[in-house]
């Protein structure tokens, strides 16, 4: 899921920077995702000092827009899931069944940020709480849900920021039960009935939120 909100682009660009052989798949087609596709292609051009290096980097990227296929999953070492895609999605379930690593932008950030992290979630008030926490610390980077800096774009600030303040949605937290890293400080502001179309039951929603403590 490349999407159009920026998180998918930041994730794709980071994976390209890390040298991954990357296939980007989305149910939307290239016309619907024109802006996001352009941003990824322009990122590769900025990385390339000459035509030869551009061709080498560009050759590692494959577009598979307009729908997903089982073959894409079967041929992957890792599936990086857009947070809007449920872990119950049949393609994601296929990856789990085949023991293929499944990550999202949040789990990748937590695995690669080497300084302290504050994780903030909740049905209401998490954006306000995260924003004020970031403001009061003064030397932090604010990233995650509904911010202007996506998770994997924020990794570039690791050298100049003392701590990451991360706003975590239940969609991101779905995969946190398998992550090896937890926030140093974890906050749940509150819990109300929400996103039951995604999590099924209030218990399922609460369990996703509770992954912040693992």
Looking at per-residue pLDDT, the higher value among 24 and 181 belongs to: 24
Contacts of 73 (CB under 8 A, 6+ apart): 79, 91, 94, 95, 98, 100
The whole-number average pLDDT for the span 94-107 is 96
pLDDT at position 50 is 64
Kindly tell me if the per-residue pLDDT of 195 is higher than 90.
no
User: Nearest-CA neighbor of 72 among 23, 15, 28?
Assistant: 23
Task: Give me the pLDDT at residue 95, please.
Answer: 96
**What is the model's pLDDT at position 197?**
82
Average pLDDT over residues 107-121: 96
Q: Which two tokens stand for residue 25?
A: 């798949």
Q: How confident is the model at residue 134 (pLDDT cuts 50, 70, 90)?
A: very high
pLDDT at 147: 63
Query: What is the model's pLDDT at position 73?
Result: 95
Average pLDDT over residues 93-122: 96
pTM, 2 dp: 0.91
| Residues forming beta bridges with residue 25, ordered by sequence position | 64
- So what's the pLDDT on residue 91? 96
Residues 150-162 have pLDDT tens digits of 999 999 998 889 9
Whether residue 49 is predicted with pLDDT greater than 80 in this model: the reply is no
Residue 71 has pLDDT above 70, yes or no: yes
Q: How far apart are CA 53 and CA 63, in angstroms?
A: 19
Cβ-based neighbours of 34, under 8 Å, separated by 6 or more: none
Average pLDDT over residues 43-55: 77
Q: What is the pLDDT of residue 51?
A: 63
Share of the chain above pLDDT 70, in %: 97
pLDDT tens by residue, 8-23 = 999 999 999 999 999 9
Work out the end-to-end distance of the chain between its first and last CA atoms, rounded to an integer number of angstroms.
27
Residue 145's pLDDT band, with cuts at 50, 70 and 90, is confident
User: 117-121 and 61-65 as β-strands: parallel, antiparallel, unpaired?
Assistant: unpaired
């Amino acid at each position: 899921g490349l999407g159009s909100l920026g998180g998918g682009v930041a994730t794709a660009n980071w994976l390209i920077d890390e040298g991954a052989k990357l296939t980007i798949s989305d149910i939307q087609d290239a016309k619907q995702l024109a802006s996001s596709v352009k941003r990824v292609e322009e990122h590769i051009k900025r990385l390339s000092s000459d035509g030869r290096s551009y061709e080498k980097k560009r050759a590692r990227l494959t577009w598979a827009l307009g729908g997903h296929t089982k073959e894409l999953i079967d041929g992957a070492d890792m599936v990086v899931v857009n947070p809007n895609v449920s872990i119950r999605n049949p393609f994601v379930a296929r990856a789990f069944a085949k023991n293929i690593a499944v990550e999202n932008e949040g789990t990748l950030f937590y695995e690669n940020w080497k300084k302290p992290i504050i994780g903030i979630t909740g049905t209401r008030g998490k954006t306000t709480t995260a924003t004020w926490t970031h403001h009061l610390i003064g030397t932090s980077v604010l990233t995650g849900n509904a911010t202007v800096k996506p998770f994997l774009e924020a990794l570039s600030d690791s050298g100049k920021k003392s701590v990451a303040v991360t706003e975590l949605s239940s969609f991101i937290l779905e995969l946190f039960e398998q992550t090896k890293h937890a926030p140093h400080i974890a906050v749940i502001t509150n819990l109300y009935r929400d996103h039951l179309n995604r999590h099924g039951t209030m218990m399922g929603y609460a369990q996703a939120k509770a992954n912040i403590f693992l």
